[in-house]
Structure 1
Amino acid sequence: MRVRFHLPDFAGHFRFNLIFAEMLKRCPQYFRDGVEIASVYGCFPPSLWNGGRFCGGYCDKDYVKTVLSAFNDRGIPLRFTFTNPMIEKKHLSDDFCNMVMNVANNGLNEAIVFSPILEEYIRKQYPKYKLTSSTCKRITDPDTLYSEVEKDYHIVVIDYDLNNKFDVLEKIPDKDKCEILVNACCDPGCVNRSEHYRAIGLQQIDYANHVKKHPNAAYSPDSFYKQHPEIKRFDKCPSVSRTVFDIQDLSTHITPDDIWNKYVPMGFTQFKIEGRTYETFNLLEHYMYYMIRPECKDIARLTFLRQLRANGVINLSE
């Protein structure tokens, strides 16, 4: 049995995920049957191509190499969230994104795509990369989903509004190729989701351009929205702060028991945990909930917290 998890975020949660990977290696008895780390996804800011979540900050080439080596040396791919839906042809030559793609162009790493323009560019310029079709496409029509699965993608991330639609899931032609986002925090059937992705994409482009022009100046989201009053503001959406306990009331929620007792027997093996912008303790509880045996949660949590503190990821008073 293989239950493969795609985890958030190799840049912002770099040491967090590295320590978790080490715990999986050294303490496998804590983990549910078959748990593997399939990839760690995210972006190195200020990646203009990034989508799905706004990511600020700055990573230089040395940091990119450090993160890449740390995960790849353990056989774990980085999977770039290049899902910005607002990409134009002029953005394809972005120096930073192309630097990242070149540095990571070793045949192990992957990219998640949305924009047909960017997808075509990556396929042509970086053919070693395995490509994932993004959930940001909002494919909720069953026949369109089945068609997407049959295209030349390594993985297709299913829209989480279909998470518990078993009549649809049963008919997917290649379930092993599909990835299910188990802990969606967005409201089921949210009518603003696609518009939110577009707003994030525009802000990410604005941020990347700001860093190029004013590398030492602070970036203001407020200023961005004042300059673009036509763009609806979603950056304070309350859904993104939901905890692992809050999401359990949503109809799109998938429990750990569901994964092992329903989805894996159906043929699904790929599962995504979202949380690129989660604070450390919320993300920790998601990992405990989904990947750790219930009877081992306390010892696993203590072990993990001690390692996080020892490595300076968190500070806890004695």
Structure 2
Amino acid sequence: MQKPFTITFSKAPKNACIHTDKTAYYHLPGLFEFYELYRIFLPLFREHREYFYDWCEIGSIYGAPADCLWGGGRVGYGDCDPEDVRELMDEYGISARLTFSNSLLCEEHLADKRCNELCRLFEKNGKAENGVIVHSDLLLDYLKKQYPGFYFVSSTTKVLTDFEELVKETDREDFRYVVPDFRLNKAWDKWETLTQSQRDKVEFLCNECCSFGCKDRRKCYETVSRKNLGEDCPEHECTASDVMGGYRFSKAMTNPGFIGINDIKETYLPMGFSHFKIEGRSLGSALVLEFLLYYMTKPEYQLHVREAVYLDNMLDLF
């Protein structure tokens, strides 16, 4: 049974200020789903760096192909050729992360041919080290033995709302990064207690739209895990009062856990936090582009980026 949680916000640290020598690393969604978008965006990011904030970089792009047995957080939609994906990431020196966050894996699932083939392909050394986002310790132990070339990320699907549990997770040597539940995002008094080495491992989920008071988040993730395992189970029915209308970025911005660019520049970076995850694997490339514009692109150049992407007929606007 999931423990009830209570989160109390404190005021942001008074000494927060802009430190221009700090860099924010964004971890972007849709490694397989949005290949065509990144095929256009990444050259822009490299060749027209003046379009983008100089205080941010791309830390990784994460995702899993459609119907991936080890998948968990969201049902995969990408059907792009993994070889093409890997080549694109290698070309631009960007870390690729496989999202293998299924929480219900058993021993017999570890032999899955497709998932192991993906690991063999992406473990190969390129210009950037690749990683795996995991929930299951069973899978983690298997991957550490079979594919030691990966680094590992503790998934937000663990729903770590208890701060002490989160601290223990950051202290695990298995993980390079840990993604806490978004409801801890503004618990400033707690974040200030971490050492710098612990802060270096925290990766905040910025733009979650889920109801802040939701008590069924773990059940929702478990339903996705069951579906990826091929189980015949009912859809999870969200009971939040504001569930109608699906994901809206404008709605996410009103969430108490939302992290905007001013929060990143003026509070998180000065506090020594550098890693920020952007949600959006199942939302469509047009909306993901809006995330790239908001979080990475200077306002005066956002139209330039939109035009470059929209004029490519591969972008799915519907």
CA contact under 8 A between 1:46 and 1:57: conserved in structure 2?
no
CA distance in 1, matches of 2:63, 2:202: 19
Kindly indicate whether the alpha-carbon contact (under 8 Å) linking 2:182 and 2:204 is maintained by their aligned counterparts in 1: yes
Change in 2 beyond 3 A, CA 1:314/1:233: closer
1:248 offset after TM fit, Å?
A: 1.3
In the alignment, structure 1 residue 96 sits paired with structure 2 residue 114: yes
The residue aligned with 1:201 is 225
Q: Which residue of 2 aligns with 1:36?
A: 57
Cα deviation 1:283-318 (Å, max 9, x = unaligned): 221221111223x2xx323433333432522479xx
Q: Once the 2 structures are TM-superposed, how far is the Cα of residue 33 of structure 1 from its aligned partner?
A: 2.6
TM-score (norm 1): 0.85
Q: Secondary structure at the match of 1:245?
A: helix
> In the alignment, what sits opposite 2:4?
none
Matched, 1:309 2:311: yes
Q: Distance in 1 between matches of 2:245 and 2:177?
A: 25
Q: Does the alignment pair 1:134 with 2:152? A: no
1:243–1:125: structure 2 CA closer, same or farther, 3 Å change rule? same
- Going from structure 1 to structure 2, the CA distance change for 1:150 and 1:57 (only over 3 Å counts) comes to closer
Q: Quote the residue 2:18 is aligned against.
A: none
Range moving further from structure 2, 281-290 or 81-90: 281-290
Native 8 Å contact 2:286 2:316 kept in 1? no
CA apart distance, 1:72: 1.6
Match of 1:288 in 2: 293
Structure 1, unpaired ranges of 5+: 208-223
Per-residue CA deviations over 1:235-272 (Å, capped at 9, x if unaligned) read x9947832221111110111110100000000011111
- Give yes or no for the alignment of 1:266 onto 2:290: no
The structure showing larger relative contact order (alpha-carbon pairs under 8 Å, at least 6 residues apart) is 2
Equivalent residues of 1:19, 1:304 under 8 A apart? no
**Letter paired with 2:113:** D
Superposition RMSD in Å: 2.3
Number of equivalences: 290
Letter of the structure 2 residue corresponding to residue 271 of structure 1: F
2:95 corresponds to 1:77: yes
Cα separation, partners in 2 of 1:68 and 1:125, compared to 1, 3 Å: same
Describe how 1:157-176 pairs up with structure 2 within 5 A.
157-173=179-195, 174-176=198-200
CA deviation profile, 1:69-94 (whole Å, cap 9, x unmatched)? 11122110110110011111110000
Secondary structure of 1:20 counterpart = helix
**Aligned partners of 2:273 and 2:154: how far apart in 1?**
16
Residue identity matched to 1:300: Q
Which residue in 1 is equivalent to 2:176? 154
Q: Is structure 2 residue 21 aligned with structure 1 residue 19?
A: no
Determine the C-alpha separation between the residues in 2 that align with 1:239 and 1:271. 27
Tell me if structure 2 keeps the 8 A contact 1:19–1:308: no
Q: Are 1:106 and 2:124 matched, yes or no? A: yes
Counterparts of 1:25 and 1:57, CA distance in 2:
24
Give, in angstroms, the shift of residue 233 of structure 1: 4.2
1:179 aligns with 2:203: yes
Q: Tell me, yes or no, if structure 1 residue 86 matches structure 2 residue 104.
A: yes
Aligned to 2:136: 115
Q: Is the 8 A contact 2:41 2:309 kept in 1?
A: no
Partners of 1:199 and 1:233 within 8 A in 2 = no
Shift of 1:172: 2.2
| 1:201-238 deviation line (CA, Å, top 9, x unaligned) | 0011118xxxxxxxxxxxxxxxx4xxx35x6445x994
Contact 1:187–1:239 at 8 Å: present in 2 too?
no
Distance 1:151 1:206, change over 3 A: same
**Cα displacement (A) at 1:58:** 4.4
Structure 1 match to 2:11 = none
Deviations 1:177-205 (A, max 9, x none): 11011111111131110000000000111
Mapped partners of 1:254, 1:177: distance in 2 = 17
Q: CA deviation at 1:30?
A: 1.8
Letter in 2 for 1:167: D
Larger mean Cα displacement after TM superposition, 138-147 or 88-97: 138-147
Q: Which amino acid aligns with 1:274?
A: E
Question: In the superposition, relative to structure 1, how do residues 25 and 125 fare at CA in structure 2: closer, same or farther (>3 Å)?
Answer: same
CA deviation after TM superposition for structure 1 residue 274, in Å: 0.4
Match of 1:212 in 2: none
Evaluate the alpha carbon distance shift between residue 239 and residue 134 of structure 1 in structure 2; reply closer, same or farther with a 3 A threshold. farther
1:246 aligns with 2:251: yes
Q: Secondary structure, in 3 states, of the residue corresponding to 1:246? A: helix
Letter in 2 for 1:170: E
Unaligned runs of 5+ in 2: 1-21
Aligned equivalents of 2:190 and 2:207: distance in 1? 19
